[in-house]
């Protein structure tokens, strides 16, 4: 039995920050690091295991024998075990074997800070270091403008394993292959950002990546860490931001993961009412423990620092905020004030957002939060949680419910479409049509629509047209852009062959042009989070199921007039009021033949009349296509 050489990357200041929960770059200290000690190359290991009585590094290099390389516990009560093992380097496979003071329980754990993990189903960690040379200096210098709240922000949500498969070999595309195919596709489609469903290492494919075991390691399914950096780099080269799904809400109980790490409830809350998620059969972090806060905030910072991510979409925030989330009476305990809010989790979220924006003021954090919890996307100094944006789940549910209705009944439900404007500016909302809406029997988006094939796709085009002219940023899940007709299959590939058919190619062309319009027209993004950016012309024409509104930019000359006909009945000589006299020039028509529309209602320049309508002195008469949106701006 040998003791590893005494060596440490920790200073006393590091330890004090760690204990206080304020060390936000723990990845520079914990884990495995290639270093040289007294002229000898090797690897330094450090792991937090305060309930351990011994910790060994085991791996191929010592035939997985526990007694060969013991780590040393620090003297300062931090619970950190560390040591230097000479003559092992990059690619070394290892785990920690931990003997606990708790009934002599023994665990074998992957390194919580590992930079690379074995390809699942293998579960060990790998010593890893790369010297990737970034080429995105231009993007990083300018990304504050691209990520700003008054900038166009349209997101293509991607599950890397199922976007496209290498058909002949029946395998995933690699990070390098995706850097060619996916990057070019997202650029061609005019999206401003891409969002990856979790790419951190996870053991179980059907979890879609939301049950993480390797928080600091991009999954090895698609290649190596430096190859993932190359993928991010290539997106930046095309002027496209990269958002990462981040999961601080729960983690799986796999034997090699964080659960019961050192024979104690180290990472998870010891009270099962706060430490176990019944829906997902997973464990919940102990947000009240300083070291756990430091671990999670360091993880958020890591992906922004080491992988140049441009933002984090934070998963399942609602489950963190409320002690009674998905729990029956008696299954939860109120907080110290008798409320249902998880005060520790709320404090953690605020600290995380504050730390992220302090170090990276040019990124965005985005909350997937489904409740009416106040001020999710408001500054912390204003009593908010500090996120940059929040998913607008209410808009998504109401809108999809409306579009599922037969057009003949829509006149009774127009308020489902207009209601979102009553609260649209209470948060910085992102409009999501995400993966969650096309699984588990919910059907593909186009299959939610009523009518024959033409009407289904016309409804889909209308849905997207409404989405892109409604205040807020946008998110669309892979396959939705061309009207994928089957539910999403995480184990399959998108049905790219559908683009051989006009209805699907038309939908794709529409999304491409809507992204272009959103980027080009200031009125669609400059005031997307302000009531000053939106004005109704008429939301009350229920009988005809027609809505009209104005989107406004900083300059009045940029304002856009939007009219939607939500039934398959064309509306000829339809009149709307205008904010002023002038000539209107068409900027978009969802009924165009290139979108597989009828092409029978071509947009043309129109001159206003001095005729009172919708309580406005000037108005215009126009022909509205069936299930179509047309948009104009003043010449």
Q: Can you tell me whether residue 387 is helix, strand or coil?
A: coil
Task: Say if residues 58 and 65 touch (Cβ distance below 8 Å).
Answer: yes
Provide the pLDDT for residue 3. Answer: 62
Provide the pLDDT for residue 80. Answer: 98
pLDDT-derived band at 4, boundaries 50, 70, 90: low
Task: Say if residues 93 and 72 touch (Cβ distance below 8 Å).
Answer: no
Distance between CA 587 and CA 574 in Å, rounded?
19
Provide the pLDDT for residue 2. Answer: 59
CA distances from 40 to 87, 90, 93 (A): 7, 15, 20
Provide the pLDDT for residue 168. Answer: 75
Which backbone phi and psi does 543 adopt, to 5 degrees?
-60, -40
Tokens at 298, concatenated: 């360091």
Q: Homologous superfamily of 12-126 in CATH?
A: Immunoglobulins (2.60.40.10)
Numbered ranges of CATH 2.60.40.10 in the chain = 12-126
Name the residues annotated as catalytic: 315, 368
pLDDT in tens, 17-35: 999 999 999 999 999 999 9
Numbered ranges of CATH 2.60.40.1180 in the chain = 531-634
Provide the pLDDT for residue 104. Answer: 85
Higher pLDDT, 604 or 631: 631
- Give me the mean pLDDT over the 347-362 stretch: 98
Residues 6+ positions from 290 with CB-CB distance below 8 Å: 18, 19, 20, 21, 22
- Give me the mean pLDDT over the 366-389 stretch: 96
- Asked if residue 418 has pLDDT above 80, the reply is yes
Mean pLDDT for all residues in the chain: 96
Give strand ranges (E) for 359-437. 364-367, 389-391, 429-433
- Give me the mean pLDDT over the 447-468 stretch: 97
> In the CATH hierarchy, which top-level class contains the domain 531-634?
mainly beta
Distance between CA 413 and CA 399 in Å, rounded?
10
Tokens at 371, concatenated: 């409740």
- Asked if residue 1 has pLDDT above 60, the reply is no
């Amino acid at each position: 039995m040998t003791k590893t050489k005494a060596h440490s990357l920790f200073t006393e200041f590091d330890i004090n920050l760690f204990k206080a929960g304020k060390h936000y770059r723990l990845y520079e200290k914990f884990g495995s690091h290639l270093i040289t000690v007294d002229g000898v190359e090797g690897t330094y290991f450090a792991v937090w295991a305060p309930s351990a009585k011994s910790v060994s590094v085991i791996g191929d290099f010592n035939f997985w024998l526990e007694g060969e390389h013991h780590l040393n516990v620090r003297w300062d009560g931090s619970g950190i075990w560390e040591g230097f093992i000479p003559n092992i380097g990059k690619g070394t496979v290892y785990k920690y074997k931990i003997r606990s003071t708790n009934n002599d329980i023994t665990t074998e754990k992957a390194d919580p800070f590992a930079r690379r993990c074995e390809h699942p189903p293998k579960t060990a960690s790998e010593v890893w270091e790369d010297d990737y040379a970034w080429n995105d200096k231009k993007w990083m210098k300018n990304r504050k403008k691209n990520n700003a709240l008054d900038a166009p922000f349209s997101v293509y949500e991607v599950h890397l394993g199922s976007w496209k498969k290498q058909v002949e070999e029946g395998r995933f595309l690699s990070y390098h292959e995706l850097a060619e195919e996916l990057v070019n596709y997202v650029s061609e489609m005019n999206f401003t950002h891409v969002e990856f469903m979790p790419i951190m290492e996870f053991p179980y494919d059907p979890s879609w990546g939301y049950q993480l075991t390797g928080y600091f390691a991009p999954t090895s399914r698609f290649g190596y860490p430096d190859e993932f950096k190359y993928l991010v780099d290539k997106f930046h080269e095309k002027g496209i931001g990269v958002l990462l799904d981040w999961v601080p809400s729960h983690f799986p109980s796999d034997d090699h993961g964080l659960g019961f790490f050192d024979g104690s409830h180290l990472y998870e809350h010891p009270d099962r009412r706060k430490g176990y998620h019944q829906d997902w059969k997973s464990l919940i972090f102990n947000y009240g423990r300083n070291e756990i806060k430091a671990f999670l905030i360091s993880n958020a910072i890591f992906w922004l620092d080491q992988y140049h991510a441009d933002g984090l979409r934070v998963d399942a925030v609602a489950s963190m905020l409320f002690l009674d989330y998905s729990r029956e009476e008696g299954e939860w305990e109120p907080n110290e004030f008798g409320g249902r809010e998880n005060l520790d989790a709320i404090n953690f979220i605020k600290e995380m957002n504050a730390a992220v924006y302090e170090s990276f003021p040019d990124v965005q954090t985005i909350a997937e939060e489904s409740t009416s919890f106040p001020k999710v996307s408001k500054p912390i100094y204003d009593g908010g949680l500090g996120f940059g944006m929040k998913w607008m789940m209410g808009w998504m549910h109401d809108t999809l419910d409306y579009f599922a209705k037969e057009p003949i009944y829509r006149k009774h439900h127009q308020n489902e479409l207009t209601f979102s404007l009553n609260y649209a500016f209470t948060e910085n909302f992102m409009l999501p049509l995400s993966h969650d809406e096309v699984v588990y029997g919910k059907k593909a988006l186009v299959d939610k629509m009523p009518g024959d094939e033409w009407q289904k796709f016309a409804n889909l085009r209308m849905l997207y047209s409404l989405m892109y002219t409604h205040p807020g940023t946008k998110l669309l899940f892979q396959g939705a852009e061309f009207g994928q007709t089957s539910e999403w299959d995480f184990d399959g590939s998108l049905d790219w062959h559908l683009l051989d058919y006009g209805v699907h190619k038309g939908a794709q062309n529409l999304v491409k042009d809507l992204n272009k319009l959103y980027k080009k027209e200031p009125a669609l993004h400059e005031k997307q989070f302000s009531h000053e950016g939106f004005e109704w012309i008429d939301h009350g024409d229920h009988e005809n199921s027609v809505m009209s509104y104005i989107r406004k930019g900083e300059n009045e000359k940029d304002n856009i007039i939007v009219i939607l006909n939500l039934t398959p009945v064309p509306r000829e000589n339809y009149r709307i009021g205008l904010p002023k006299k002038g000539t209107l020039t068409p900027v978009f028509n969802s009924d165009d033949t290139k979108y597989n529309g009828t092409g029978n209602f071509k947009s043309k320049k129109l001159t206003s009349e001095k005729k009172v309508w919708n309580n406005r002195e000037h108005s215009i008469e126009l022909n509205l296509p069936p299930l179509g949106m047309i948009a104009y701006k003043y010449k």
